[in-house]
């Protein structure tokens, strides 16, 4: 395979992996010898060293990892703060409320209730520490979500039962019925 | 039945019409719509897979096809402005739908092609930091949850109920035949006197056409917009 | 600030964010005008279009997101699970196409084009995260639908403008007029 294509492949794989990845694994994925891989990594390092690049290749023992350039840390931190510290969108607030009143609850159930995919919102709420996840007792591959203790405290209550109208809202029948009808029909069959 | 059309699964009246024109290798013109009107009517009167809640969609297109067909048979027939408009809309809708159906095939090729991008976990490597929204209260949570509950659709069941009352074409044909047998002679307006809505009138009209075609009844109309008289052939 | 440094900053921020991010936010973080940001994004897109790049810049409405190059799917798949592998039914493909070429678009408008009720298909696409909904600016009780980054990733294109026949299909005059008369007659569009 030609050099340029190899560079492209390795960059794609490094980008997606997020964490550090063993060089031997990279070589295996790209289907090349270790020596060839070293060359490609060298080329990438060279490319990232240009002032216009925002990426850098970290190497630690046998592992390599793609990261953002250290010079830009101020801007990156500002972005993280902006994204995580801003007010909740109405959609995110709805997800939190479902988790508060119906938690612990699975992603599939939350999505059945709202009729919209919630992967992104759930991740964001987890990162902000507003919700927590634990293993789903009914499905070993999945998680269930509950409101975090910190958020409850911030709202001035020490457990969900003290949320306004908890007794009636948490047993709201329309929610129960949509969960049961929708999770029966596999949503993926379209 | 004279026609045994083999079509792929179709979804909705425009899809059916489009497949019929394509099968006959016709462009979408008024002439070709008149040509396939009978096939369309046959198809919807015998198709098992038209659900009741879609029936109204199919019938509204059927009504326009009948207009086009009548004009082809009776060149003197003049359309009202409203009818002309409805037919023009149908032609355009069909042409537009065709564009998107063709585009959907190309988009489908992209879906099947071995080209897929991946993204990375956002903010990966960052630990969880508690960032509560500034002014959020327990009352906000309650309101948000009530909104969620309020938006859960209860509508779909209602739709089913209202359509359930409408007779299918098959049932209507039997009904018409019985009514004519009893009276030997009836006017169309008598037969539809109890119709609950426009859809049922259209169904009755379709049923009448079907009976004419099967030579079970005979119809007469003295002039444009005048009363249609139906007679059972056996009773002649 | 000079162009090269700006490119570096934007690339770093896009890399860490991982998610879609509004162009206006990027401009604010980098402290530049929207026009300057557009230029920088243009430069990045140019850079990523080189054969040796493994990245691509997805663009959708006001947002952009960094992703791996679609050509490298076979290699990337060995690292992470392809969650977008499942196909789309003919009905789903039609709805997705209408939304891609004509979105943001209301349910009534989609149904005017297809001549058939689309609630079920829309719900499925929403649950799969292939389309998104937002409040309809012309009708507060209704929604408009647009495509998601997930869909762009699945199609392997970086923006809808790259879809076949985009120019002709997205600007059909007569469609616009059918749609406008249809929505006037039917206020129930959601």
* pLDDT category of residue B3 using cuts at 50, 70 and 90: very low
Give the pLDDT of residue B235: 46
Q: Which of B52-61, B151-160, B195-204, C61-70 has the highest mean pLDDT?
A: C61-70
Its ipTM equals 0.87
Distance CA C95, CA C113 (A): 10
Q: Give the 3-state DSSP-derived string for A7-76, with helices as H, strands as E and coil as C.
A: HHHHHHHHHHHCCCEEHHHHHHHHCCCHHHHHHHHHHHHHHHCCCCCCEEEEEECCEEEEEECHHHHHHH
Percent residues over pLDDT 90 in chain C: 73
- More confident: B189 or C143: C143
Q: Which residue of C has its CA nearest to A52?
A: C4
Interchain CB distance below 8 Å, A129 and B147: no
User: Average model confidence (pLDDT) for chain C?
Assistant: 89
Classify residue B52 as exposed, middle or buried by CB count within 10 Å of its CB (0-12, 13-18, 19+): middle
Give the pLDDT of residue A183: 56
Q: Are strands A105-106 and A139-147 parallel, antiparallel or unpaired?
A: antiparallel
**A82 neighbourhood in chain C, CB within 8 Å:** 25, 28-29
* pLDDT category of residue A76 using cuts at 50, 70 and 90: very high
pLDDT of residue B165 exceeding 80? no
pLDDT of residue B159 exceeding 70? no
Interchain CB distance below 8 Å, C7 and A187: no
- More confident: A49 or B166: A49
- pLDDT, tens digit, for every residue of C95-129? 999 999 998 999 999 998 998 889 889 999 999 99
pLDDT of residue A145 exceeding 80? yes
CA A136 to chain C, closest CA, distance in angstroms equals 20
Interchain CB distance below 8 Å, C157 and B110: yes
CA C141 to chain A, closest CA, distance in angstroms equals 15
Least confident of A33-37, A60-64, B84-88: B84-88
User: Average model confidence (pLDDT) for chain B?
Assistant: 76
For A75, the closest of C13, C55, C89 (CB atoms) is C13
Q: Which tokens is C120 given?
A: 């079920």
- More confident: B66 or C12: C12
DSSP A127: H
Which helix (H) or strand (E) segment holds residue A1: the answer is: none
Least confident of A92-106, A137-151, B73-87: B73-87
DSSP SS3 for A98: helix
Least confident of B148-157, C133-142, C151-160: B148-157
Interchain CB distance below 8 Å, C54 and A15: yes
CA A49 to chain B, closest CA, distance in angstroms equals 22
pLDDT of residue B190 exceeding 90? no
**Interface check B9 vs A, CB under 8 A:** no
* pLDDT category of residue C189 using cuts at 50, 70 and 90: very low
Which strands sit side by side in the sheet containing A131-136, from one edge to the other?
A105-106, A139-147, A131-136
Own/partner contacts of C13-16, CB < 8 Å, gap of 24 or more, are C13/A54, C13/A68, C13/A72, C13/A75, C13/A76, C13/A79, C14/A54, C14/C57, C14/C64, C14/C65, C14/C66, C15/A15, C15/A54, C15/A55, C15/A66, C15/A67, C15/A68, C15/B120, C15/C66, C16/A68, C16/A76, C16/A79, C16/A80, C16/B123
- More confident: B42 or C63: C63
Q: Which residue of B has its CA nearest to A79?
A: B123
Give the pLDDT of residue B50: 67
- pLDDT, tens digit, for every residue of C42-88? 999 999 999 999 999 999 999 999 999 999 999 999 988 877 778 89
User: Average model confidence (pLDDT) for chain A?
Assistant: 90
pLDDT of residue B213 exceeding 70? no
Interchain CB distance below 8 Å, C8 and A119: no
**B112 neighbourhood in chain C, CB within 8 Å:** 87
**B130 neighbourhood in chain A, CB within 8 Å:** 128-130, 148, 150
CA A129 to chain B, closest CA, distance in angstroms equals 5
Least confident of A12-21, B166-175, B223-232, C76-85: B166-175
């Amino acid at each position: 395979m030609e050099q340029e294509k190899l560079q492209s492949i390795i960059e794609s794989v490094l980008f997606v992996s997020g964490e550090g990845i063993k060089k031997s694994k990279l070589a295996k994925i790209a289907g090349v010898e270790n020596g060839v891989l070293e060359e490609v990594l060298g080329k990438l390092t060279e490319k990232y060293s240009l002032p216009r690049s925002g990426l850098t290749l970290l190497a630690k023992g046998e592992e390599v990892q793609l990261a953002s350039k250290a010079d830009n840390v101020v801007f990156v931190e500002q972005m993280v703060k902006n994204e995580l510290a801003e007010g909740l969108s109405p959609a995110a607030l709805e997800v939190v409320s479902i988790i508060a009143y119906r938690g612990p609850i699975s992603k599939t159930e939350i999505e059945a209730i709202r009729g919209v995919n919630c992967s992104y919102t759930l991740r964001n709420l987890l990162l902000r520490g507003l919700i927590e996840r634990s293993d789903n007792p009914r499905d070993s591959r999945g998680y269930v979500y509950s409101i975090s203790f910190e958020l409850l405290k911030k709202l001035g209550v020490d457990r969900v039962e003290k949320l306004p109208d908890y007794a009636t809202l948490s047993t709201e029948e329309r929610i129960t019925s949509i969960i049961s009808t929708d999770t029966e029909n596999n949503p993926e069959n379209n | 039945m004279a026609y045994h059309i083999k079509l792929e699964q179709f979804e909705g009246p425009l899809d059916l019409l489009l497949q019929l024109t394509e099968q006959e290798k016709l462009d979408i013109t008024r002439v070709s719509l008149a040509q396939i009107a009978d096939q369309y009517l046959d198809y919807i009167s015998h198709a098992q897979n038209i659900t009741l809640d879609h029936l109204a969609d199919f019938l509204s297109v059927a009504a326009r096809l009948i207009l086009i067909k009548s004009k082809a048979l009776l060149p003197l027939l003049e359309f009202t402005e409203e009818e002309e408009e409805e037919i023009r809309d149908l032609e355009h809708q069909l042409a537009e739908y065709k564009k998107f159906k063709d585009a959907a095939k190309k988009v489908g090729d992209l879906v099947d092609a071995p080209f897929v991008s991946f993204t990375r976990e956002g903010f990966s490597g960052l630990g969880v930091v508690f960032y509560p929204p500034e002014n959020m209260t327990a009352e906000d949570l309650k309101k948000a949850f009530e909104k969620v509950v309020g938006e859960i659709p209860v509508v779909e069941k209602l739709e089913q109920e209202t359509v359930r009352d409408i007779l299918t074409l098959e049932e209507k044909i039997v009904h018409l035949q019985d009514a004519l047998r009893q009276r030997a002679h009836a006017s169309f307006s008598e037969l539809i006197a109890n119709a609950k809505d426009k859809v049922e009138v259209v169904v009755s009209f379709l049923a009448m056409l079907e009976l004419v075609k099967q030579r079970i009844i005979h119809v007469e109309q003295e002039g444009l917009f005048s009363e249609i008289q139906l007679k059972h052939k056996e009773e002649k």
